């Protein structure tokens, strides 16, 4: 739950990844990011299945893609990497927290983006990296 006076979003909240987790596990900051070769100061999550699907599909790993239903256990904020740069007003309902996320459930099935869409996104992200524009402000 968000302890701020103004509730940003009531959820439900999702976290897309390739990590195998169990109900009750806690996702905490200071683990290597799914997207960069450095430790992340935040845990990222979303209130849209669409954004969670991208999170699972784009995570660095050959493991199975997974989407978890999560509960933020502390304060959270709009993800400035999305809201400040690409989608003002946070229509993707993307958030980050320095507090843990508790795993409540795993979605049993969901419709993936097409391989064509995923490959296009990966190509676009690689181009941004080559241009030095794939910076995540963490």
Q: What is the pLDDT of residues 73-124, one digit of tens each?
A: 999 998 887 765 666 677 778 899 999 999 999 999 999 999 899 889 888 8
Residues 14-49 as b/e (b if ≥16 CB within 10 A, e otherwise) read bbbbbbebeeeeebebeeebbbeeeebebbbbbbee
Indicate whether 10 pLDDT > 70. Answer: yes
Overall residue count recorded for the chain in this entry: 138
Pick the CATH number of 13-130 from 3.40.50.1980, 2.80.10.50, 3.20.170.40, 3.30.70.890: 3.20.170.40
C-alpha 12/C-alpha 21 separation (Å) is: 18
What integer pLDDT is reported at residue 85 of this predicted model?
Answer: 62
Instruction: Provide mean pLDDT across the span 61-73.
Output: 93
Indicate whether 30 pLDDT > 80. Answer: no
């Amino acid at each position: 739950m968000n302890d701020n006076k103004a509730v940003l979003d009531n959820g439900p909240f999702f976290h897309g990844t390739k990590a195998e987790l169990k109900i009750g596990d806690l996702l905490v900051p200071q683990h290597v990011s799914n997207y960069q070769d450095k430790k992340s100061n935040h845990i990222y999550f979303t209130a849209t299945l669409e954004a969670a699907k991208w999170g699972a599909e784009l995570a660095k790993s050959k493991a199975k893609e997974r989407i978890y239903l999560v509960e933020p256990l502390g304060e959270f904020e709009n993800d400035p990497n999305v809201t400040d740069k690409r989608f003002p007003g946070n229509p993707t309902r993307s958030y980050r927290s320095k507090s843990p996320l508790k795993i409540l459930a795993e979605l049993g099935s969901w419709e993936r983006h097409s391989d064509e869409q995923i490959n296009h996104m990966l190509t676009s992200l690689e181009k941004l990296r080559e241009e030095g524009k794939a910076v995540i402000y963490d």
